[in-house]
Amino acid sequence: MESIIKLNDAVNGFVWGPIMLALLVGTGVYLSIATGFPQFGKFGYMWKNTIGKIFQKSEAGKGEITPFQAVSTALASTVGTGNITGVTTAILVGGPGAVFWMWVSAIFGMVTKFGEVTLAVKYRERNDKGDWVGGPMYYIKNGLGKKWKWLGAVFCVFGALAALLGIGNMTQINSIVGYINRTAQAFNPAAADSEFVISLVAGILIAAFVALVVIGGVKRIGQVTEKLVPTMAVIYIVCALAVVIAHANQLGGTFAAIFTGAFTPSAVAGGVIGATVRTTITKGVARGVFSNEAGLGSAPIAHASTSERDPVKQGLYGIFEVFMDTIVICTLTALVVLTSGAADGNWNDSNLAIATMTTGFASVFGEKLGSVILTVGALLFATSTILGWSLYGTRCVEYLFGPKSRRPYQVAFCLLIVVGAVAELSVVWDIADTLNGLMAIPNLIAVLLLSPVVIKLAKEHFKGLKG
């Protein structure tokens, strides 16, 4: 295990180094300028054509899902424990300033995801079952040409591994069982002696649920996530807002710590953090990307299944996703942690993320109810993420090895849910960060090479619109 950790640390240091951070944020900056900053200028239009259409009935044909089911599946994979545990971890290790860099990556990440989704719908194709399939591997093959197919294969290798071992599976279940055990101990301290058993049972039950949904294919996943996503978002947002409002007198100092800590992290929290500016930026951007997935190329795989024919209209959902995921939900998590003072005494220890969040909610709801709220939130968030990523991983192996590879991969995916339930959290998160960075590289190369297509489609669509 020690050799795996060392190898992962070495690779992680490269994929999340200055070059990678510049590529991630730089792609968003470039596309924002080239398309006229649609995340600002077309925000009203985006809102009207995404959230404004939720209650409109729409039909999906064979092998398709509705635009809202597509965004629900994508949001299901993006709104996960990264929004709770991931954000808290970033703050504990990088300080309050990590939140600022998370915002920066999200603002430009909105247009990166807009570009990814637009390309996914533009270059998608039908598979042997008649389902729409798309994503980086397909816009690489159909947009850049067959000589670039190797780049699509590289993306799929890292995407399939990330789904199995990282962001899409093991980190999610690991956080779920962490909150479940925390809640069990809040009601009965003796439950600490049964932590492994509780984790194992939870892992088995969730794996069984995921298996039942996954067997139904993309339509079943879309039907489940369109119900899970709004429910989990409303529950978490309302409860988090209650905590922030209760500590409203701390908001001024909290925002000051965020902006000051972004550039001088050692100046906040009494210098206890000891984080460098590089650590703060890295943790903020990495956790932001982990949460909203802008630049990873994962969400476009879900969006490619939409019944929407206009690539740009579906691309607008990419902007909406990042806004809802990071600007709204991740920010609320950060404010709960910082306004409640829950992080005090826990700086520099990423393993205390769950305890920190529980303390934040307990400051208003009490330890027992606070634990229950977080556990329900984590359960809904993480389970929906696992469902979304089961689709992403399946599409990746299908591209690499053909239709017959789907079922064996799905079986392995469900089995690893059980393994992730009893794994060590810090190691799992570190591996997930590394795999995220590795799959982002081929995707961002493709997005940049195909950026003229995105720019042309966006300008044609937005021409004459008033916002």
pLDDT at position 94 is: 84
Contact 207, 414 (CB under 8 A): yes
| d(C-alpha 297, C-alpha 217), whole Å | 20
Distances, alpha carbon 121 to alpha carbons 7, 32, 133, 141, 195, in Å: 37, 20, 9, 14, 45
Structure tokens at 295: 């630049």
**Averaged over 403-422, what is the pLDDT?**
91
Domain residue limits, the chain: 2-462
**What is the separation of C-alpha 413 from the centre of its chain, rounded to a whole number of angstroms?**
18
Beta-carbon count within 10 A of 44 CB: 12
The fraction of the chain above a pLDDT of 90, given in percent, is 37
CB 296, CB 436: distance < 8 Å: yes
**Does the pLDDT of residue 271 top 60, yes or no?**
no
Confidence of residue 393 (pLDDT cuts 50, 70, 90): very high
424 phi/psi in degrees, rounded to 5: -80, 125
The answer to whether residue 73 scores a pLDDT higher than 70 is no
Would you say residue 394 has pLDDT above 60? yes
Query: What number is the average pLDDT over the span 174-179?
Result: 85
Tens digits of per-residue pLDDT, 31-50?
Answer: 999 999 999 988 888 888 77
Residue, of 430 and 26, whose pLDDT is higher: 26
The model's pLDDT over 92-116, given as tens digits with 9 standing for 90+, comes to 888 888 899 999 989 999 999 999 9
Q: Which CATH architecture has domain 2-462?
A: Up-down Bundle (1.20)
pLDDT in tens, 363-383: 999 988 988 888 888 888 788
Alpha carbon of residue 443 to chain centroid: 16
Helix (H) or strand (E) holding 132: strand 132-133
pLDDT grade, residue 62 (50/70/90)?
low
- The predicted-structure confidence for 312-322, as pLDDT tens digits, reads as follows 988 998 898 89
**Tens digits of per-residue pLDDT, 202-241?**
999 999 999 988 877 766 777 777 777 777 778 888 999 9
Q: Any idea which of 16-20, 138-142, 194-198 has the lowest mean pLDDT?
A: 16-20
Residue 293's pLDDT is what?
Answer: 81
All residues at 6 or more sequence positions from 243 whose CB lies less than 8 Å from its CB, including other chains? 335, 336, 339, 340, 360, 361, 363, 364, 365
Pairing assessment for the beta strands 132-133 and 125-126 based on DSSP bridges: antiparallel
Angle at 132 between CA 126 and CA 133, to 5 degrees: 85
Angle at 427 between CA 423 and CA 432, to 5 degrees: 100
More confident site: 149 or 293:
149
Lowest-confidence range among 53-62, 286-295, 350-359? 53-62
pLDDT of residue 56: 60
Mean pLDDT across 56-79: 63
Q: How confident is the model at residue 3 (pLDDT cuts 50, 70, 90)?
A: confident
In the chain, the percentage of residues whose pLDDT exceeds 70 is 88
- The span from the CA of 83 to the CA of 87, in Å, is 6
Residues 396-416 have a mean pLDDT of 93
Q: Output the average pLDDT for the chain.
A: 84
Q: Is 295 left (phi over 0), alpha (psi -120 to 50) or beta?
A: left
Q: How far apart are CA 12 and CA 17, in angstroms?
A: 8
Contact by Cβ (8 Å): 362, 371: yes
